[in-house]
Amino acid sequence: MECYREVAARAAEKMQGYREDLSGWRSCKRTNEISIFWKPSAEFHGNIYKADGILPAKPEAVFKCIKPEAGGLREKWDKNLKELLIVEIIDENICITRTITPSAFMKIISPRDFLDVVLIKQYEDGTIASVATNVEHPQCPPEPGYVRGVNYPCGCFCIPVPGEPGKTQLLSFFQSNLSGNLPHSIVDSFFASSIADFYSNLTRAVKMLVA
């Protein structure tokens, strides 16, 4: 368990580093909800994506919608999530999850699963963060029918907007190796569109589910 805690703590440090790093980001996609940026990842031969947008709800409400929990609200609105399972609870703020995703991009991308240690962290300014990174677990080996993807340090910061208590700045980082022999152009297009969908669907969810 101590090992999982150490891995989670390192991922949180890297996430904070991404949050403070303002150099090298290239604009990828903009919508009414968000701005998406990317740059080469230092973790693997792929890209890290940053998404930044304002949501019409308090940080606690936004976090309730994205909180990693079995049978939680996220399974109701996130179309890129088929099922989220809790493999092991380490403590009240750290758990091991298995995330199952459906086929995507007209079934060019087959179903995946991801095994991560997830850390929930609260900051003094009211920010709530969910940080994840890949691990292995004896109770959850790869299964037939799913390609085992790999998440590198990623997650979301739900940040209070000064002077606007009913709004949240959601700053997210995504960097995943989908594995398999997928062309880079397919992967890049998938991430840009799926991140935009994530924010759009989440915006609707916070209005409907936690208003």
The CATH number of the domain holding residue 112 is 3.30.530.20
Check pLDDT > 70 for residue 90.
Answer: yes
Q: How far is CA 165 from CA 18, 94, 106, in A?
A: 25, 28, 40
Strands (E), 33-163: 34-40, 47-55, 83-91, 94-101, 112-122, 128-134, 147-148, 150-151, 154-161
Report yes or no: 54 and 164 within 8 Å, Cβ to Cβ.
no
* Tens-place pLDDT, residues 135-167: 999 999 999 999 999 999 999 999 999 999 899
pLDDT bracket for residue 180 (50, 70, 90): confident
What is the band of 186 on the pLDDT scale with cuts at 50, 70, 90?
A: confident
Rounded to an integer, the average pLDDT of 49-69 is: 94
Long-range CB contacts (< 8 A, 24+ apart) of 4-7?
4/90, 4/94, 4/96, 4/117, 4/135, 5/90, 5/91, 5/94, 7/117, 7/133, 7/135
Q: What is the pLDDT of residue 96?
A: 97
Structural domain tally of the chain? 1
Domain that holds residue 191: 2-209
Q: What is the pLDDT of residue 211?
A: 56
